[in-house]
A and B are shown apart, each in its own frame.
Chain A
Amino acid sequence: MNAANAPTAAPYTTIVGLEVHLQLQTRTKLFCGCSTAFGAPPNTQVCPVCLGLPGSLPVMNRAAFELAMKAALALDCTIASFTKWDRKNYFYPDLPKGYQISQFDLPFSSSGSLEVVDPKGTFAPRTVRIVRVHLEEDAGKSMHDDTAGRADSRIDLNRAGTPLCEIVTEPDLRSPQEARAWLNELKLLLEYLGVSDCNMQEGSLRVDANVNLHIPEASGRIAKTPIVEIKNMNSFRSVERALIYEVARQWEEWQQTRAELGTMPKQTRGWDDPAGVTRAQRHKEESSDYRYFPEPDLVPVTVSPQQLAAVRASMESPPKQLRQSLQSQWNISAYDADVLVNQGRDLVAYFETLAAQVGGGKVASNWMQQDVLRMLKERGGAIADFPVQPAGLADLIARVTAGTFDTSRAREIFAEMVANGRSAADVVGAMEIAAVGEDELRDLCRELLARNPKIVADVQGGKEQAVAGLIGQARKQNANVNPGEFRTMCLEMIRTMGR
C-alpha cells in the first residue's frame, strides 16, 4: 500500500516483518524424553541432556521434526532434502549448555508465504513471504524479582529443550492492523494443523516485530528510518499496540533527527504493556557474534519426496480451504464462513452437522452467528462443552420450520435449553408452548380490537404499523401467539370492519 491509497494518507509507509517462535505440540522435548507439559513445579522435567550435563547426547524427536515440516508445508515453504543443526553460542543462565542447538545455513525449509484476507475489507489481501522456518530448542526461564529485593535470579529449566519452530517473514506487512490480522491467520492455521496450541499466555507462541518507515522525499528518493526490533509483546493486541506506538515514535524521531537506516546498530526496544510504550533495551555487547558451527552430536536429516508426500497426506485442510468449501458446500457468505472458521475446527464441525440435519446452510449459519456464538462467548468454554449440541438445536429449528412457534419464541426456548441443558421438547412441554389454534387467535383478535378503537382508527387511516401495539398486548395474554399470524389476522379483520 502506498501513501496514495492508504486509508489515512500518512506521509510514510510502515514496513513490518515478524519473527515468530512456536512451541511444537509434542509430548517430549526435542532431544530428550522429558515432558513438555506446561505448569509443572520448577526443575521437575529435566534430565542430563536438557541440563547440558557432560557426556549426555541429544537424539532428535521424530514427532517434532514432522510437526515442523507440517508447519513449513502449510506455509508453502520448500522443504530441504538435506538439513543439519548448528550450535549457536552465547552465555545466559537459562541456557545450560552455553549454546543453543539451532539451524544456521541449512534450515529444513525456506521460501514460503501466507496470505491474510480481511472479510470486512479494512485492508487489501496481503501475502507475506516467509524467509525460512527452522527447528531449534527453547531455553529455560529466568526469574528476577526486584521488588522482593532478591539478590539472585532463579532458574527453571523445565522449558529448556522444548521443540521450537522459528518462522521469519520478509518485511511485507504494511500496518499494525495487518500484522495483527496476519498473526491471527497464522495462529489459526497452526492450530488447525495441530502443530501448536499457540497459547501466548503460556509462551507457546512468541512474537518479535521489526519495524521501520519508508519516507518518500521531494526528490523521489525514499528515506528509511533505522529498523527497530520490538520484544516482550504478550498478545496479538500488544503487537498491534506496540507497532502503532513505535510507528508514531519513529516518525517523530525522524522529524527531529533525520537519522537513517545504517547509521547506527539495530536497536531493540521492549514493549511495556501497562505504560503503553516501547523502551530501549540495553545493548548486548557483541551479542550477534554467535560463532555458529555444525552440531557434532546430531547427524544430518534427509527428506525424500515419498516422506514429504506422506506428511502432506496426513495434513488436515487449512482454514483458507475450509472457508472456500463452507461457502460452496453450504451456500453461505464469505463473511459468515470466515466467522465460523476463525472459531476453530470443532465449531466448524458443529456447524456442518447442524447444517446437514436442518438441511440448509443459511438457517444453520444464522443460528450459529446470532445465537450459538453469542451464548458461547457469554458462557466461555469450548463448543464441545456447549449444553446444546447440533441434534438438539436441529430439533428446535425443525419446530420453527413446522410453524409451531416463531423465531423470537424459539430464541427464548434456546436460551432455556442452554441455561439448563434441557431438550427442546422438554422446554416446550414445560412452558406449555403449542401453536395457538385459529379460533383462539380469532377470539383474541376480536377482543383486542374492541378494546382498542384508537388503534383500529389509526390503521383504517392508513397507519398500518399501529397494529404493533396490539401484538404486544396479545403476547402478554398468550405468549404462544405467533406475531406474524396475529398481525395478518388483525389487519384482515380491520379491513372487514371498514366495509
Chain B
Amino acid sequence: MTLSRQDVAKVGMLAKLALSDAELDTMTSELSKIVGFVSLLDELDTTSVEPLAHPLDTQNVFRDDVPAPSLSTAEALQSAPRHDGQYFLVPAVLGESGAA
C-alpha cells in the first residue's frame, strides 16, 4: 500500500502542520514505507479473531467521586506561552467551540 501526496497533505492539514513541497515529498515516501510495513498484518486471516478494544486484559477501573486538590491557578498557568494571571491567552478564536 502506498500513500498519495494528497493523503499526506490531508493528514498534515488535520495535524495543523504546514508542510513545504519538499517536506511533502519526504513525508510521502517515508510514511508510505511505514504504512507498507504495518500492512504486512493484512496478510493474516483474522476472521476468527475477536476485535481487541484494549491490549490489557483489565476492565472496570474506576475511582470514587471524591474531590482531590487541584493545582493553584499560578501553577496551572506557569507553562502557558501567554496568560494574564487568570486565563490562558490564545490568538483570537471566533465562532463556536468545536466541542460536540
Q: Which of A's residues lie within 8 Å of B, judged by CB?
A: 26-28, 32-35, 41-48, 51, 53, 59-65, 82, 84, 89-95, 100, 106, 138-139, 141-144, 150-157, 166, 231-232, 270, 281-282, 284-287, 289, 291, 294, 296, 298-302
Contacts and interface: CB of A to CB of B under 8 A. Distances in A.
A153 B92 contact: yes
A287 B98 contact: yes
Contact of B62 (A32, A43, A48, A62): A62
A44 B95 contact: no
B20 interface: no
B71 A48 contact: yes
B68 A60 contact: no
Contact of B96 (A46, A281, A291, A298): A281
Interface size class on chain B is: 35 or more
B20 to A, nearest CB: 20
Contact of B86 (A43, A48, A90, A286): A43
Contact of A27 (B65, B97, B99): B65
B61 A299 contact: yes
Nearest to B73: A43
B13 to A, nearest CB: 7
Contact of B71 (A46, A93, A270): A46
B94 A62 contact: no
Given A139-B97, A152-B82, A43 B88 contact: yes
Given A46-B76, A300-B53, 18 more contacts: A26-B65, A33-B66, A33-B69, A43-B87, A44-B70, A47-B71, A51-B76, A62-B64, A89-B14, A93-B93, A141-B97, A142-B93, A142-B97, A152-B89, A281-B95, A281-B96, A285-B13, A300-B54
A48 B69 CA distance: 11
A42 B87 contact: yes
A141 B97 CA distance: 8
Contacts of A232: 96
B6 interface: no
B49 interface: no
Contact of A299 (B54, B77, B91, B93): B54
Contact of A92 (B53, B60, B98): B98
Contact of A62 (B63, B82, B100): B63
A144 B92 contact: yes
Contacts of B90: 93, 142, 152-153, 155
B56 interface: yes
A182 to B, nearest CB: 21
Q: Mostly helix, strand, loop or mixed at chain B's interface? A: loop
25 contacts: A26-B65, A28-B66, A28-B68, A33-B70, A42-B73, A43-B73, A43-B77, A46-B71, A60-B61, A61-B63, A61-B65, A92-B97, A93-B88, A106-B53, A142-B93, A142-B97, A152-B91, A153-B92, A157-B88, A291-B14, A299-B54, A299-B56, A299-B58, A299-B59, A299-B61
A300 B59 contact: yes
A274 B68 CA distance: 41
B76 A301 contact: no
B89 A59 contact: no
A387 to B, nearest CB: 35
A92 B68 contact: no
Given A59-B63, A289-B14, A154 B96 contact: no
Given A51-B76, A142-B97, A284-B98, A150 B92 contact: yes
Contacts of B68: 28, 32-34, 47
Nearest to A289: B14
Contacts of A93: 88, 90, 93
Nearest to B93: A153
Contacts of B73: 41-44
A22 B13 CA distance: 32
Contacts of A298: 54, 61
A153 B96 CA distance: 12
Interface string B4-40: 0000001001101000000000000000000000000
A18 to B, nearest CB: 14
B63 A282 contact: no
Contacts of A150: 92
Contacts of B67: 27-28, 33-35
B45 interface: no
Contacts of B43: none
Nearest to B94: A144
Contacts of A231: 96
B65 A94 contact: no
A354 to B, nearest CB: 36
B42 interface: no
Given A61-B63, A144-B92, A46 B54 contact: no
B3 to A, nearest CB: 15
A350 to B, nearest CB: 30
A301 B60 CA distance: 5
Contact of A60 (B53, B54, B62, B70): B62
A43 B76 contact: yes
Contacts of A45: 70
Contacts of B77: 43
Nearest to A142: B93
B76 A91 contact: no
Contacts of B93: 92-93, 142, 144, 153
Nearest to B16: A91
Contact of A153 (B55, B91, B100): B91
